[in-house]
Structure 1
Amino acid sequence: MAIRPSVMIAGCGDVGSRLGLRMSRAGWTVFGLRRQAASLPVPILPVRGDLASPAVPRGWPNGRLDYLVYAASASQHDEAGYRQAYVEGLRNALGWLQQRDQQPRRLFFLSSTGVYGQHAGEWIDETSATEPTGYTGSVMLEAEALALASGLPTTRVRMAGLYDPARPWMQNQVRAGLRVDREPPQYSNRIHRDDAAGLLACLLEKDLAGAPLDDCYLGVDDDPAPLHEVVDFLRERLGVTHWAEQTMTRRAGSKRCSNARARALGWVPQYPSYRNGYAGVRPNAKG
């Protein structure tokens, strides 16, 4: 009987849970680590642990562990919180592997397109200069460097803005009538949460099959679009006609991210554009 491949998803939140369910259906043994692990969906095997602690979690598996997916997110949105979540948390997770004498086949580190500081609508790919203007991108680059220096084969997956109509942050901004700048166009990049999980699943399956992987992929859909176009689309879907005095605030720059490398590997987004992802939005819907 073939041995089931195993993966530990450290920081198993929303995207991690979606990934874990996909890999479980594909026959993998999936461990999910988080502070409130009891809430993880079956059949993800819950591991209660705190990435802020250097002590190995009591439920950490013994023996072979084929893959580590580091998918933490910051609960405290300042520089200290980012460093704790992405740098120190990763350092602790790598320490746990060492203490358990585990050598995964590959480490996947969920990063962000925030490592790019371009702001004039430039096209960006994995080879573009990373010159972030804020602490979020700088700390993420620090964490990426730690991952690359781990001694494990490492792939960084730089995700754009994650969205899901069931989490209506953007729709609420539009319902409030918040304005966006139209000139110059402010390009925005995004990826549906299901597609983010699908890309990670694709990378895991490809690596298990022996396909060569690059050390970096951009997780974005096919349609980097000016933010005002996204807002106009949602205003029409939601039936919003008023404008507020306030302007929508954005932390990211203005750039267009290419997913050509991920697509060349065989990944196909289920929601190639925000138009697909938000297609079900209705005026009276919660999302």
Structure 2
Amino acid sequence: MTDGPVLLTIGHGYSAAAFAASLPEGWRRIGATRSGEKAATMAAAGVEPVDAGDAAAMRRAIAAASHLLISAPPGEEGDPVLGRHGAALAAARPAWVGYLSTTGVYGDRNGGWVDEEGALAPVNARSARRVEAERAWLGSGLPVEIFRLAGIYGPGRSVFDRLREGRAQRIVKPGQVFSRIHVEDIAGALRAAVARPAPGRIVNLADDAPAPPGEVILYAAGLLGMEPPPGIAFDEADLSPMARSFYNESKRVSNRRMREELGYAPRYPDYRAGLAAVLAAERLGAL
């Protein structure tokens, strides 16, 4: 136990784990999960696992937390965290709550720029549920900040994995462009928000350089010394329905508010810097 700040992550996935691991000494970290395997991994990383299916244990964890990070996705019946734990959260009165959303709430911008003032126009049910979840959290009476994440990548979750496994497709769709964010920059921006809290704030987390997906694959293949996969027209590509849905949106996401209001400049301002760092981290881990 500690008298210092306490973080509780609900939905302890890739980004939440990176944020928890990045916190300085003096923080107590608790993470909710239903997986025994993940609980063991969390404990090894210094995060106290709590059974997300144990209502009493969750009430105790929420009461102990000074800060919460919510990354559990909403379902068809709404946000599961507010639905199950709204009363406990209201009673606990945490100092800060971060909710991880997606830039998918903006829908398609035909390759144009969009910032946090842009109209929300989700093009699929998944993103529409995020819009409703954002509204629910902002209306909860809790000190919530919303973070809209661009495409997330980092060690163990990048184009390198798909290239090595032969799964990467270099899809050609003229005008298609995506924004991205390295997982370490997600963690860094969240730390900046905790240091300068502003309940009700909405912030895009994205790097400085949106780019076509095929360009990223070509660069990554070059770093690996591999022959890049051939270009495939979008209409001919073998994509899952979810993967295909991402190509229904093309936009450049502004990070001006992240830089100016959070005071956070991305450590990896474009995919070139980010992928070089991922590869260096992978090679260091293999030594």
Partner of residue 60, structure 2 = 60
> Residue 156 of structure 2: which of 166, 171, 186 is its match?
166
1:230 aligns with 2:216: yes
**What's the secondary structure of 2:8's corresponding residue?**
strand
> Separation in 1 of the partners of 2:31 and 2:215?
38
Query: What amino acid maps onto 2:26 in structure 1?
Result: G
**Following superposition of structure 1 onto structure 2, how do residues 122-141 of structure 1 map, counting pairs within 5 Å?**
122-141=112-131
Preserved contact between residue 8 and residue 62 of structure 2 (Cα < 8 Å): no
Preserved contact between residue 6 and residue 27 of structure 2 (Cα < 8 Å): yes
Partner of residue 77, structure 1 = none
> Separation in 1 of the partners of 2:159 and 2:170?
15
> Separation in 2 of the partners of 1:243 and 1:177?
10
Deviations 1:134-171 (A, max 9, x none): 01110001111110111112110011111124234565
Q: TM-score, normalised by structure 1?
A: 0.81
> Separation in 2 of the partners of 1:30 and 1:20?
7
Query: What amino acid maps onto 2:172 in structure 1?
Result: D
The verdict on how the C-alpha distance between 1:60 and 1:116 changes in structure 2, with shifts beyond 3 A counting, is: same
Partner of residue 78, structure 1 = none
Give the CA deviation at 1:59. Answer: 7.4
Give the CA deviation at 1:89. Answer: 3.1
Q: TM-score, normalised by structure 2?
A: 0.81
Residues matched between the structures, number = 266
Partner of residue 76, structure 1 = none
**Following superposition of structure 1 onto structure 2, how do residues 82-97 of structure 1 map, counting pairs within 5 Å?**
82-83=75-76, 87-97=79-89
1:260 aligns with 2:256: yes
The verdict on how the C-alpha distance between 1:279 and 1:64 changes in structure 2, with shifts beyond 3 A counting, is: closer
> Residue 201 of structure 2: which of 215, 226, 229 is its match?
215
Partner of residue 27, structure 1 = 26
> Separation in 1 of the partners of 2:21 and 2:228?
40
> Separation in 2 of the partners of 1:274 and 1:172?
16
Higher helix share: 2
The verdict on how the C-alpha distance between 1:179 and 1:14 changes in structure 2, with shifts beyond 3 A counting, is: closer
Query: What amino acid maps onto 2:256 in structure 1?
Result: A
> Separation in 2 of the partners of 1:165 and 1:103?
35
Identity of aligned residues (%): 29
Deviations 1:163-194 (A, max 9, x none): 124234565258446232252x2111111112
Q: Which stretches in structure 1 are left out of the alignment for 5+ residues?
A: 74-80
1:106 aligns with 2:96: yes
Give the CA deviation at 1:200. Answer: 1.3
Runs of 4+ in structure 1 deviating by more than 6 angstroms, as ranges, are 284-287
Give the CA deviation at 1:214. Answer: 5.3
Give the CA deviation at 1:26. Answer: 4.0
